[in-house]
């Protein structure tokens, strides 16, 4: 009798095995050509991501993601301070990013019947971003910039430096999930990617070589869970 009760309890609290999702939003470059702590918001680009997760328990899941986006920076978009217009660097690149992250649901609501509709989570992991960087310094005011102000002496070194075809990234992010049905939820997510390169924008010595470039995304999405598992592997009894 005790075994029967445990089995029934387990079956009513089964977790799904998997979650899949789709996110869309904006990707923002943050580096030598952005003059704000929030990155180059004036050159933000659209991006989309798809992912699949393996749910481990109520709190943790492992996610594999694939993102397609673009990044861009342009000194001419930021006339203050005025030397941006004299330097006039710009760049753009498509981004194809593959990452693996651990996701921690802070309320322990992974796949459960809706307990709290809003559930915050954090994520962290590692990945790789494929790039095709196009940099442009043709608009430089050489009568001023060649004198060495704001890194002018480093332009020759940068122009001789090959830009990377890809970079390792360390994504870290926060998000909120809103469950509107037992298997469906909408999400809002902010994820920053730390990189180990100062040449995502194509420039380093002629700009700010003291810190690497990075980028982040702000997205909204839709998530679906499926594949329930029976922890105690109890048989399902059906009434005749």
Host domain of residue 193: 2-229
> Is 239 contained in some domain?
no
Cβ atoms < 10 Å from Cβ of 142: 11
> Is 240 contained in some domain?
no
C-alpha 165, offset from chain centre: 19
| Separation between Cα atoms, residue 137 and residue 235, nearest integer Å | 69
pLDDT of residue 229: 55
195 touches 11 (CB < 8 A): no
Any idea what the CATH number is for the domain that residue 132 is in? 2.40.160.20
> Is 236 contained in some domain?
no
> Is 234 contained in some domain?
no
| Separation between Cα atoms, residue 177 and residue 21, nearest integer Å | 12
41 touches 53 (CB < 8 A): no
98 touches 50 (CB < 8 A): no
How large a percentage of the chain has pLDDT more than 70? 83
> Is 32 contained in some domain?
yes
Q: What does the DSSP 8-state code read for residue 199?
A: -
Total number of domains constituting the chain: 1
pTM across the whole model: 0.86
Per-residue model confidence as pLDDT tens digits over 184-199: 999 999 999 999 999 9
Which among 77, 94, 97 is positioned nearest to 134, based on CA atoms?
94
Does 213 or 112 have the greater pLDDT score? 213
204 touches 198 (CB < 8 A): yes
Residue 142: both structure tokens together: 């050489």
> Is 102 contained in some domain?
yes
> Is 235 contained in some domain?
no
């Amino acid at each position: 009798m005790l075994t029967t009760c445990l089995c029934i309890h387990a079956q009513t609290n089964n977790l799904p095995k998997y979650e899949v999702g789709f996110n869309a939003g904006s990707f923002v470059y943050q580096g030598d050509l952005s003059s704000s702590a929030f990155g180059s918001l004036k050159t933000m680009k659209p991006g989309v991501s798809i992912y699949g997760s393996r749910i481990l328990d109520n709190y943790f899941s492992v996610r594999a993601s694939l993102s397609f986006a673009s990044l861009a920076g342009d000194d001419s978009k930021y006339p203050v301070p005025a030397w941006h217009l004299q330097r006039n660097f710009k760049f753009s690149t498509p981004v194809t990013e593959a990452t693996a992250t651990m996701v921690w649901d802070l309320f322990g609501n992974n796949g459960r019947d809706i307990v709290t509709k809003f559930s915050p989570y954090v994520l962290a992991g590692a990945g790789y971003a494929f790039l095709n960087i196009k940099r442009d310094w043709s608009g430089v005011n050489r009568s001023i910039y060649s004198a060495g102000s704001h890194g002018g002496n480093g332009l020759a070194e940068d122009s001789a430096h090959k830009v990377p075809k890809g970079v390792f990234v360390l994504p870290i992010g926060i998000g909120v999930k809103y469950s509107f049905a037992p298997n469906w939820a909408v999400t809002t997510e902010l994820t920053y990617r730390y990189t180990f390169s100062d040449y995502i924008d194509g420039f380093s010595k002629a700009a700010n070589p003291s810190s690497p470039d990075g980028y982040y995304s702000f997205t909204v999405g839709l998530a679906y869970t499926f594949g329930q598992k029976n922890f105690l592997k109890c048989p399902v009894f059906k009434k005749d």
